[in-house]
Amino acid sequence: MPYGASVNLPFESASKLGHLSVVGDPLVKALLESFEKVERGESMVPDGAIRTLDLGAVEPLSLVLAVDGSLSSVPNSLIEDKTLAYVKVAALCLSLDDLEAAEAPIVDPSFVQGLIRDHTHTFSTVLPLNNVIVAGQTMRETVRDVIYRTFRTVNDGRLLDTLVYLTSHGWLTHSEHDASFACPLCQRENDLPRNTVEFACRNCGQTITVVDYLGFDREVNEDSNEDVVARNLMLALEHLTVIDYLRRMLDKNPAMARRTLLLKDGPLMLAGQYSRLAEAIRSYLNWLTHEGVEYYLVGVEKSGAFVTHAHYIGEPLRAPGRVFVPGNDYILSRIKHTDPGTTKYGERVLYGAKALVGLDERNVVVLNVPTPRFMLDPEPSDLIGLARIVKTLTHLVSRQHQDALMPIVAVNRLASMSFYPSNDILAKYADAMIGGAGSPS
């Protein structure tokens, strides 16, 4: 997702001015004149809640591995009755030296092209949404089949292996974690066997898989679909990619994990039925912490209620190492504007605590950082590796956009599929290939 605009810097993508005439409409003008500005008071951050991390003696991490995804829905150019959703996930791994060189005032374009060529990895899939199916299948069957094929294929099946590892609690010899789900074919409940990809439904006998455990098929309508299922597929692939890289580093080169910042574009959160994956990831990270394994993982939010609130707090955060970790009651009452009651914010859907962090005198970011366990009111010291993460991010501030980070800007561009001209190309390709028409000319 792109960075927004600020007072001093532009949107990440070009803004569209076609609706400026709206402000000249008499009704709009009359309504605007009748509105009264509400002057808000101080942000009311509790005294002492904004801390300053001592970053002086902290060494930044030397490598950054950033992950982002994009989604592009492509309707038929003449009749919008046939829609495909293209999903793309990108990963970029660079040293701090490379990133700082790429952000220099004068950069050789061939240097940047070389970095992209040699240090990035992307994979893509396509998901039918409307009136595109595999012969002999229903829409739900087609979507289920395509998603399973995606998991088996992308990254040589490593994400499927990581999904099995997480849902089976593979880091434990014996797991007391009991997982169950409804068979997508007969809707009867099944236990999820450990360390297994495919198995027979104990009721209908049909083959079901660990991917069915995530429940993508529940969001499929036989007649017409929004891009919700494709968006959730993209998010699941993003989170699994991050954890897969962490697993691989710990298996093959733990020293690399100790000097690499795993940076995800977006919060460390999966909602709805996908929260079962977030809970599994949290359990895995908690186990790593309990075992004394050193790793550094952070999600960066670029929009939403927490980003808005960080801007509202304003100046108190605008200094290197300033940090505010809001507690449960503060989040619910001051950021989400709901009654705290007995609600535990993020208990099922998050695997990282929120932190509003100043990187310098101008830039503030909203971070999600894992904690040793789910905590309602974490302290900054509870966020795993926070000081070193922040010290690293102070070296990665981008001058292109407000509150932006260089690796996030770069990986977003790698992952993004803009509507012009990319979508037009994808639409032509889809129209030529669907139904066996052959390759596009």
d(CA 279, CA 125): 26
* pLDDT tier at 107, thresholds 50, 70, 90: low
Cβ–Cβ under 8 Å, residues 154 and 125: yes
pLDDT, tens digit, 9 for 90 and up, residues 368-405: 999 999 999 999 999 999 999 999 999 999 887 889 99
What pLDDT, on a 0 to 100 scale, did the predictor assign at position 15?
46
d(CA 250, CA 221): 41
Q: How far is CA 116 from CA 314, 323, 411, in A?
A: 35, 33, 9
- How many DSSP H helices and E strands does the chain contain? 13, 13
Q: Which amino acid is at 193?
A: P
Which of 418, 50, 68 lies closest to 267 in space, CA to CA?
68
- Whether 9 shows a pLDDT value over 80: the answer reads no
DSSP annotation of 33 reads H
Quick one: CATH architecture of 50-122+239-433? 2-Layer Sandwich (3.30)
- Whether 439 shows a pLDDT value over 70: the answer reads no
More confident residue, 353 or 13: 353
Buried (b) or exposed (e) across 260-276, using 16+ Cβ within 10 A? bbbbbbbbbbbeeebbb
Q: Which amino acid is at 330?
A: Y
DSSP E strands, 133-201: 180-182, 189-191, 198-200
DSSP E strands, 287-378: 296-301, 322-324, 353-358, 364-369
Highest mean pLDDT among 117-131, 214-228, 310-324: 310-324
**Per mean pLDDT, which range of 44-48, 87-91, 125-129, 428-432 is the poorest?**
428-432
Taking each helix axis from N to C end, the angle separating 228-252 and 275-290, rounded to the nearest 10 degrees, works out to 20
DSSP annotation of 94 reads E
- Whether 427 shows a pLDDT value over 60: the answer reads no
Q: What is the pTM of this model?
A: 0.85
Cβ–Cβ under 8 Å, residues 385 and 261: no
d(CA 92, CA 115): 9
pLDDT over 90 for what percent of the chain? 57
What pLDDT, on a 0 to 100 scale, did the predictor assign at position 208?
97
| Averaged pLDDT for residues 181-207 | 95
What pLDDT, on a 0 to 100 scale, did the predictor assign at position 113?
63
Domains of the chain by residue range = 50-122+239-433
Q: What share of the chain is helix, strand, coil (3-state, %, to 5)?
A: 40, 20, 40
| Averaged pLDDT for residues 226-245 | 94
| Averaged pLDDT for residues 289-293 | 96
What pLDDT, on a 0 to 100 scale, did the predictor assign at position 227?
84
Which of 234, 230, 305 lies closest to 264 in space, CA to CA?
234
pLDDT, tens digit, 9 for 90 and up, residues 75-97: 655 455 667 788 899 998 888 87
